[in-house]
């Protein structure tokens, strides 16, 4: 019995010892009120620490290199007062995170950067394939007026794995509102993308360069440029992560979003996309496009994707429901139970494959009120379709 109790005590001691060993000695909260102080504190931060930035205006162009938290113990950088966030203005890239892991950035404003507003990347310069940055969270951030013209992104993610971008507001950019190059296992959730005059705005979200397993959900795209979401793209081979594959993007899910204007969805040299329970309202281009922008034989033809239970409302400004480019495999797309409503012209889409259980010319009762969109139609054929029926994934 005594030996049993000794063994039990030793076991409990070892459990406690290793638990303590894996915890930080202490987690500190630092404050900063100047750019100099921010840079000073960045060199001190350890897993679990927090940097709170006082309200005020700060010069952009801050490089954060090799800053690491741990899983469950991120390093947090945030505005001290979420109702009065610090503002970073200018610089080529206002906030540049290179080879950082387990970082949470929250409650800041970024404005008028020349290249990118925020860039999170693995340090790849096109020479070699370093390991991805992991565990990145961007939350409650406002990014405005980036570019304004050219391939300049509000938020750029390059070689990032296991990330969350949520509850951010992005308005006015040159290239992409959010650009993911060679990223994986991420979620973009509850973000607002609002286009502005004077900005080139190629797309709201672009996911390319070998990216896979990413969810875009419950976002609002208000005239976000030529394309709302680009599932794929045209990436220089040296920028693929971890290397060139047979797709630009794979297993990208787009669900519960609202698109107004532009072309909502473009499948571009991509595979296994899943677009469902969205509302696509008054597109000025197409509802969706199927394209192969790189004809290199290493890529499979764009295809094998599912478009289902979306609500589509169009007017005379729409070019056509769907645009199919050469070199694609449109017959492999599947269309199921979408609602197609054209009150002015009564058009019905011509799809590359017969749709299962479509709903034509049923009014979903779209209503705009105080910046929000409501669907008031009560026809039973609308049940289960559109953003109201999408279940948020935690």
Could you read off the pLDDT of 292-318 as tens digits, one per residue?
999 999 999 999 999 999 999 999 999
Q: Is residue 369 in a domain?
A: yes
Q: Is residue 220 in a domain?
A: yes
CB contact set of 21 (below 8 Å; sequence gap of 6+): none
Q: Is residue 359 in a domain?
A: yes
Q: Is residue 3 in a domain?
A: no
The reply to whether omega before 148 is within 30° of 0 (cis) is yes
Q: Is residue 214 in a domain?
A: yes
Domain, as residue range, for 166: 114-389
Q: Is residue 101 in a domain?
A: no
- Predicted pLDDT of residue 26: 74
- Predicted pLDDT of residue 150: 96
Q: Is residue 63 in a domain?
A: no
Burial 209-222 (b: 16+ CB within 10 A, else e): bbbbbbbbbbbbbb
Split into its structural domains, the chain has a count of 1
- Predicted pLDDT of residue 9: 65
For residue 276, give the CATH number of its domain: 2.160.20
Cα–Cα distance for residue pair 124/160, rounded to 1 Å: 11
- Predicted pLDDT of residue 5: 53
Q: Is residue 78 in a domain?
A: no
Residues in the chain with pLDDT < 70?
A: 1-25, 125-128, 394
């Amino acid at each position: 019995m005594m030996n049993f109790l000794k063994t039990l005590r030793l076991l409990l001691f070892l459990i406690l010892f290793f638990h303590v060993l894996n915890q930080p000695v202490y987690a500190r909260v630092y404050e900063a009120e100047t750019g100099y102080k921010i840079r000073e504190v960045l060199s001190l931060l350890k897993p679990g620490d927090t940097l709170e930035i006082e309200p005020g205006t700060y010069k952009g162009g801050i490089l954060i290199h090799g800053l690491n938290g741990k899983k469950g113990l991120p390093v947090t950088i945030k505005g001290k007062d979420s109702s009065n966030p610090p503002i970073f203005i200018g610089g080529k890239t206002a906030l540049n995170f290179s080879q950082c892991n387990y970082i949470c950035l929250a409650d800041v404003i970024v404005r008028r950067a020349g290249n990118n507003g925020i860039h999170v990347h693995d340090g790849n310069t096109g020479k070699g394939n370093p390991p991805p940055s992991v565990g990145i969270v961007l939350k409650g951030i406002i990014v405005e007026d980036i570019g304004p013209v050219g391939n300049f992104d509000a938020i750029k993610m390059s070689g990032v794995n296991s990330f969350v971008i949520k509850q951010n507001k992005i308005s006015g950019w040159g290239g992409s509102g959010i650009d993911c190059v060679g990223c994986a296992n991420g979620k973009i959730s509850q973000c607002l993308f609002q286009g502005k005059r004077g900005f080139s705005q190629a797309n709201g979200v672009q996911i390319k360069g070998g990216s896979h397993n990413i969810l875009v959900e419950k976002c609002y795209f208000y005239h976000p440029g030529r394309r709302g979401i680009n599932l794929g793209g045209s990436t220089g081979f040296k920028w693929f992560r971890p290397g060139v594959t047979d797709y630009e993007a794979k297993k990208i899910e787009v669900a519960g979003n609202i698109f107004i204007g532009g072309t909502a969805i473009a499948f571009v040299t991509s595979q296994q996309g899943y677009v469902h329970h969205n509302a696509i309202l008054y597109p000025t281009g197409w509802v969706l496009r199927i394209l192969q922008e790189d004809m290199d034989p290493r890529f499979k033809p764009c295809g094998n994707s599912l478009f289902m239970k979306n609500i589509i409302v169009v007017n005379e400004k729409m070019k056509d429901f769907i645009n199919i480019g050469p070199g694609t495999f449109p017959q492999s797309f599947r269309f199921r139970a979408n609602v197609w409503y054209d009150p002015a012209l009564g058009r019905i889409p011509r799809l590359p494959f017969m749709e299962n259980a479509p709903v034509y010319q049923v009014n979903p009762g779209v209503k705009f009120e105080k910046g929000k969109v409501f669907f008031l139609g009560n026809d039973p054929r609308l049940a289960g379709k559109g953003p109201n029926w999408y279940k948020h994934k935690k």
